[in-house]
């Protein structure tokens, strides 16, 4: 009889630690930390009181010598600075992720507010009929003082065997994934998830970037993957067949791109596009992440020449399909 996923993880010596996210959405209620050896973990959870309490129940961070961070988002790297400062843990993460964390952390609140206001203005969030947008709450990730850079092809020799680093992109600047060939395991962070397609959004400070192109290229690389492989995701339960999930994620982005393209038959602002993309009504409050996601879709359509953009007399971007 084939082994269950739980049996295979046990045989590999891999353990899952569930940490709280404080979110109502069931697919985002927890963040996973993966223990890949007695003293080695992947990701840390958020930097908040609930997570510190959960860590106490899970045996604490004091015995951890090495933390491999898939990416710099606060739910994955939140306690890395604390583990380094308090217990001297080594933090392994790609340099591009650390630099992104450092840039956001260094920005003053006035600077942050200015960057956000400019971004939202350009997308029509302050024009008449647009729903007011509320910022995401929560403090940014505190960058750890030092890190050991993860690079493509690097092999980590751990209690649970050899784990090869491979780099992704799209959900964040340069996330790391880990492949264990002997046990057919793949740690994906947030690049491949069991339920909804990973968040892909434009960062306010880099409004013309095309992160969706990075995500689509990344997912394309996993199309033909051994279905026997078990994915250890950043959120939700482990699952097999990463190729099938990658295809479902790609189809989901394609559907959203098609919706934007259809809605842009007449010149339209990003703000006016939101009801076609998300469950929001025209003029109703939205979240900054809705704008970030919609901008990523628009930028991708512009890069492929399917949509054009110009500024109207108020300086707000108008988009129209070609």
Q: Which residues bind Zn ion (CB under 5 A)?
A: 73, 190
Strands 161-167 and 155-158: antiparallel
Shortest gap between Cβ of 71 and Zn ion (angstroms)?
Answer: 6
Q: How far is the CB of 191 from Zn ion (least distance, A)?
A: 9
Neighbour count for residue 187 (Cβ, 10 Å): 27
Residue closest to Zn ion when measured from CB atoms = 73
Residue ranges in the chain assigned as alpha helix (H): 5-12, 49-57, 74-77, 80-87, 95-106, 109-122, 211-221, 242-263, 270-277, 288-303
Q: How far is the CB of 114 from Zn ion (least distance, A)?
A: 25
Cβ 262 to Zn ion shortest distance, Å? 29
Residues 176, 187: Cα–Cα separation, whole Å = 9
Nearer to Zn ion, 35 or 73 (CB): 73
Closest separation in Å from C-beta 207 to Zn ion: 20
Nearer to Zn ion, 172 or 180 (CB): 172
For 123, other C-beta atoms within 10 Å of its C-beta total 27
Using the minimum distance from each CB to Zn ion, give the nearer residue, 83 or 100: 100
Smaller CB distance to Zn ion: residue 16 or 118? 16
Q: Is 134 helix (H, G, I), strand (E, B) or coil?
A: strand
Burial class (CB in 10 A: 0-12, 13-18, 19+), 274: buried
What residues have CB less than 8 Å from 286, skipping those under 6 apart?
131, 132, 133, 134, 274, 278, 280
Of 73 and 147, nearer to Zn ion (C-beta) is 73
């Amino acid at each position: 009889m084939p082994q269950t996923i739980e049996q295979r993880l046990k045989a590999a010596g891999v353990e899952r630690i569930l940490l709280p996210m404080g979110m109502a959405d069931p697919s985002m209620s927890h963040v996973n930390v993966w223990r890949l050896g007695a003293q080695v973990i992947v990701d840390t959870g958020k930097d908040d009181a609930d997570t510190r309490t959960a860590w106490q129940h899970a045996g604490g961070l004091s015995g951890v010598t090495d933390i491999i961070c898939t990416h710099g988002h606060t739910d994955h790297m939140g306690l890395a600075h604390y583990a380094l400062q308090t217990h001297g843990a080594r933090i392994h993460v790609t340099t591009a992720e650390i630099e992104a964390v450092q840039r956001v952390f260094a920005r003053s609140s006035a600077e942050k507010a200015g960057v956000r206001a400019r971004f939202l203005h350009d997308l029509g969030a302050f024009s008449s009929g647009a729903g007011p947008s509320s910022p995401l709450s929560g403090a940014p990730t505190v960058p750890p003082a030092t890190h050991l850079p993860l690079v493509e092809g690097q092999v980590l020799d751990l209690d649970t065997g050899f784990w090869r680093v491979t780099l992704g992109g799209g959900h964040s600047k340069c996330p790391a994934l880990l492949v264990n060939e002997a046990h057919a395991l793949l740690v994906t962070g947030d690049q491949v998830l069991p339920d909804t397609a990973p968040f892909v959004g434009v960062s306010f400070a880099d409004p013309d970037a095309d992160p969706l192109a990075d995500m689509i290229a990344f997912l394309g690389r996993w199309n033909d993957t051994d279905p026997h492989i078990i994915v250890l995701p950043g959120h939700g339960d482990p699952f097999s067949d990463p190729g099938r999930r990658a295809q479902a994620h790609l189809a989901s982005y394609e559907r959203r791109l098609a919706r934007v393209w259809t809605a842009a038959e007449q010149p339209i602002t990003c703000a006016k596009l939101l009801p076609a993309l998300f469950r929001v009504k025209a003029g109703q409050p939205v979240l900054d992440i809705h704008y970030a996601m919609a901008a990523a879709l628009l930028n991708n359509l512009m890069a492929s020449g399917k949509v054009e953009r110009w500024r109207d007399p108020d300086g707000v971007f108008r988009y129209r399909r070609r």
